[in-house]
Copies of this chain bind each other. A is one copy, B any other.
Amino acid sequence: MRKRRTKDDWTDIALRALVEGGVAAVAVEPLAARIGATKGSAYWHFPNRDALLTATLERWEREHTEAVIARVQAEPTPLGRLRRLFAVALEDSRDNAVELALLAAKDDPAVAPVLRRVTDRRVDYLTDLFHDIGFPDDAARGRAVLAYSAYLGQAQLLAAAPDLVRRRGLLDDTLAVVTARG
Protein backbone atom coordinates (compact mmCIF):
# COMPACT_ATOMS: atom_id res chain seq x y z
CA MET A 1 0.00 0.00 0.00
CA ARG A 2 1.13 3.49 -0.82
CA LYS A 3 2.22 5.51 2.13
CA ARG A 4 2.42 9.00 0.72
CA ARG A 5 -0.58 11.08 -0.23
CA THR A 6 -1.01 13.94 -2.65
CA LYS A 7 -3.15 17.05 -2.48
CA ASP A 8 -5.57 15.30 -4.79
CA ASP A 9 -5.88 12.31 -2.49
CA TRP A 10 -7.03 14.71 0.18
CA THR A 11 -9.49 16.66 -1.95
CA ASP A 12 -10.82 13.30 -3.14
CA ILE A 13 -11.94 12.08 0.24
CA ALA A 14 -12.86 15.60 1.25
CA LEU A 15 -15.28 15.68 -1.65
CA ARG A 16 -16.64 12.29 -0.72
CA ALA A 17 -17.17 13.48 2.85
CA LEU A 18 -18.78 16.65 1.55
CA VAL A 19 -21.29 14.61 -0.43
CA GLU A 20 -22.11 12.41 2.53
CA GLY A 21 -22.08 14.81 5.42
CA GLY A 22 -22.02 18.35 4.13
CA VAL A 23 -19.43 21.05 4.65
CA ALA A 24 -19.08 20.25 8.35
CA ALA A 25 -17.89 16.77 7.45
CA VAL A 26 -14.83 18.20 5.76
CA ALA A 27 -12.83 17.96 8.97
CA VAL A 28 -9.18 17.09 9.07
CA GLU A 29 -9.10 14.48 11.77
CA PRO A 30 -11.99 12.29 10.64
CA LEU A 31 -10.72 12.49 7.08
CA ALA A 32 -7.25 11.47 8.18
CA ALA A 33 -8.64 8.47 10.02
CA ARG A 34 -10.60 7.51 6.95
CA ILE A 35 -7.70 7.80 4.56
CA GLY A 36 -5.48 5.83 6.91
CA ALA A 37 -3.19 8.72 7.71
CA THR A 38 -2.84 11.37 10.38
CA LYS A 39 -3.32 15.10 10.55
CA GLY A 40 0.37 15.53 9.90
CA SER A 41 -0.17 14.77 6.24
CA ALA A 42 -3.08 17.14 5.83
CA TYR A 43 -1.30 20.01 7.51
CA TRP A 44 1.69 19.49 5.31
CA HIS A 45 -0.34 19.74 2.11
CA PHE A 46 -2.63 22.51 3.34
CA PRO A 47 -2.02 25.34 5.76
CA ASN A 48 -5.34 24.73 7.51
CA ARG A 49 -8.74 23.15 7.27
CA ASP A 50 -10.17 26.06 5.33
CA ALA A 51 -7.59 25.73 2.59
CA LEU A 52 -8.48 22.06 2.22
CA LEU A 53 -12.15 22.93 1.92
CA THR A 54 -11.48 25.67 -0.61
CA ALA A 55 -9.27 23.43 -2.71
CA THR A 56 -11.94 20.76 -2.66
CA LEU A 57 -14.69 23.13 -3.75
CA GLU A 58 -12.61 24.67 -6.47
CA ARG A 59 -11.69 21.30 -7.81
CA TRP A 60 -15.33 20.26 -7.91
CA GLU A 61 -16.25 23.51 -9.62
CA ARG A 62 -13.52 23.06 -12.19
CA GLU A 63 -14.31 19.44 -12.98
CA HIS A 64 -18.08 19.25 -12.81
CA THR A 65 -19.86 22.47 -13.71
CA GLU A 66 -18.47 22.73 -17.19
CA ALA A 67 -18.61 19.00 -17.71
CA VAL A 68 -22.39 18.98 -17.44
CA ILE A 69 -22.76 21.88 -19.82
CA ALA A 70 -20.40 20.28 -22.31
CA ARG A 71 -22.35 17.03 -22.19
CA VAL A 72 -25.60 18.86 -22.77
CA GLN A 73 -24.27 20.80 -25.73
CA ALA A 74 -24.21 17.57 -27.70
CA GLU A 75 -27.97 17.80 -28.17
CA PRO A 76 -28.88 19.37 -31.52
CA THR A 77 -31.86 21.55 -30.59
CA PRO A 78 -32.09 24.10 -27.77
CA LEU A 79 -35.20 22.44 -26.46
CA GLY A 80 -33.46 19.10 -26.48
CA ARG A 81 -30.59 20.65 -24.57
CA LEU A 82 -32.95 22.02 -21.98
CA ARG A 83 -34.59 18.67 -21.56
CA ARG A 84 -31.30 16.87 -21.29
CA LEU A 85 -30.03 19.44 -18.83
CA PHE A 86 -32.90 18.83 -16.45
CA ALA A 87 -32.64 15.09 -16.83
CA VAL A 88 -28.89 15.02 -16.28
CA ALA A 89 -28.95 17.48 -13.42
CA LEU A 90 -31.60 15.66 -11.44
CA GLU A 91 -30.24 12.20 -12.09
CA ASP A 92 -26.69 12.75 -10.85
CA SER A 93 -27.40 12.58 -7.16
CA ARG A 94 -23.73 12.87 -6.28
CA ASP A 95 -23.36 16.21 -7.97
CA ASN A 96 -26.69 17.17 -6.53
CA ALA A 97 -25.54 16.49 -3.01
CA VAL A 98 -22.64 18.90 -3.42
CA GLU A 99 -25.02 21.53 -4.65
CA LEU A 100 -27.26 21.10 -1.65
CA ALA A 101 -24.31 21.07 0.70
CA LEU A 102 -23.16 24.40 -0.69
CA LEU A 103 -26.63 25.88 -0.41
CA ALA A 104 -26.78 24.67 3.17
CA ALA A 105 -23.49 26.37 3.99
CA LYS A 106 -23.92 29.45 1.87
CA ASP A 107 -22.70 31.70 4.69
CA ASP A 108 -19.36 29.97 5.00
CA PRO A 109 -16.76 32.34 3.54
CA ALA A 110 -15.11 29.47 1.71
CA VAL A 111 -18.39 28.42 0.14
CA ALA A 112 -20.09 31.66 -0.81
CA PRO A 113 -17.87 32.65 -3.76
CA VAL A 114 -17.99 29.19 -5.31
CA LEU A 115 -21.74 29.00 -4.91
CA ARG A 116 -22.09 32.41 -6.44
CA ARG A 117 -19.99 31.57 -9.47
CA VAL A 118 -21.73 28.26 -10.07
CA THR A 119 -25.17 29.81 -9.73
CA ASP A 120 -24.36 32.65 -12.10
CA ARG A 121 -22.82 30.33 -14.63
CA ARG A 122 -25.84 28.05 -14.65
CA VAL A 123 -28.43 30.79 -14.82
CA ASP A 124 -26.47 32.41 -17.62
CA TYR A 125 -26.40 29.19 -19.55
CA LEU A 126 -30.12 28.69 -19.02
CA THR A 127 -30.72 32.23 -20.19
CA ASP A 128 -28.88 31.48 -23.42
CA LEU A 129 -30.93 28.36 -23.84
CA PHE A 130 -34.24 30.14 -23.45
CA HIS A 131 -33.00 32.81 -25.76
CA ASP A 132 -32.21 30.21 -28.40
CA ILE A 133 -35.63 28.70 -27.90
CA GLY A 134 -37.09 32.01 -28.90
CA PHE A 135 -37.69 34.08 -25.82
CA PRO A 136 -36.64 37.72 -25.95
CA ASP A 137 -33.68 38.63 -23.75
CA ASP A 138 -35.68 39.84 -20.82
CA ALA A 139 -38.16 37.01 -20.69
CA ALA A 140 -35.36 34.51 -21.24
CA ARG A 141 -33.64 35.59 -18.06
CA GLY A 142 -36.89 35.38 -16.14
CA ARG A 143 -37.52 31.88 -17.37
CA ALA A 144 -33.96 30.92 -16.58
CA VAL A 145 -34.38 31.96 -12.96
CA LEU A 146 -37.68 30.17 -12.85
CA ALA A 147 -36.27 27.00 -14.34
CA TYR A 148 -33.26 27.06 -12.07
CA SER A 149 -35.52 27.57 -9.09
CA ALA A 150 -37.59 24.60 -10.14
CA TYR A 151 -34.43 22.54 -10.44
CA LEU A 152 -33.14 23.57 -7.04
CA GLY A 153 -36.49 22.91 -5.43
CA GLN A 154 -36.82 19.51 -7.02
CA ALA A 155 -33.32 18.63 -5.93
CA GLN A 156 -34.28 19.54 -2.39
CA LEU A 157 -37.47 17.54 -2.52
CA LEU A 158 -35.64 14.64 -4.05
CA ALA A 159 -33.45 14.57 -0.98
CA ALA A 160 -36.11 15.32 1.60
CA ALA A 161 -39.23 13.61 0.27
CA PRO A 162 -38.31 11.49 -2.74
CA ASP A 163 -41.74 9.94 -3.15
CA LEU A 164 -43.30 13.33 -3.83
CA VAL A 165 -41.11 14.13 -6.78
CA ARG A 166 -40.74 10.68 -8.29
CA ARG A 167 -43.88 10.96 -10.36
CA ARG A 168 -44.28 9.85 -13.91
CA GLY A 169 -44.24 12.77 -16.28
CA LEU A 170 -43.01 15.36 -13.83
CA LEU A 171 -40.01 16.10 -16.00
CA ASP A 172 -42.14 16.61 -19.08
CA ASP A 173 -44.63 18.61 -17.09
CA THR A 174 -41.91 20.85 -15.76
CA LEU A 175 -40.47 21.41 -19.18
CA ALA A 176 -43.83 22.10 -20.75
CA VAL A 177 -44.73 24.57 -18.06
CA VAL A 178 -41.41 26.33 -18.01
CA THR A 179 -41.29 26.78 -21.77
CA ALA A 180 -44.96 27.77 -22.13
CA ARG A 181 -45.55 31.03 -23.96
CA GLY A 182 -47.09 33.76 -21.83
Question: Could you tell me which A residues sit within 8 Å of B by CB distance?
Answer: 22, 24, 100, 103-106, 115-116, 119-120, 123, 141-143, 145-146, 148-154, 156-157, 159-161, 164-165, 167, 169-170, 173-174, 176-178, 180, 182
Contacts and interface: CB of A to CB of B under 8 A. Distances in A.
Given A106-B160, A143-B173, 13 more contacts: A100-B104, A103-B103, A104-B105, A119-B161, A142-B167, A142-B173, A145-B157, A146-B173, A148-B157, A149-B154, A153-B156, A177-B177, A177-B182
Copies in the complex: 2
Give the secondary structure class of A's interface: helix
Which 8 pairs between the two chains have the least Cβ-Cβ distance?
A149-B153, A104-B104, A152-B153, A153-B153, A180-B180, A149-B154, A106-B160, A119-B161
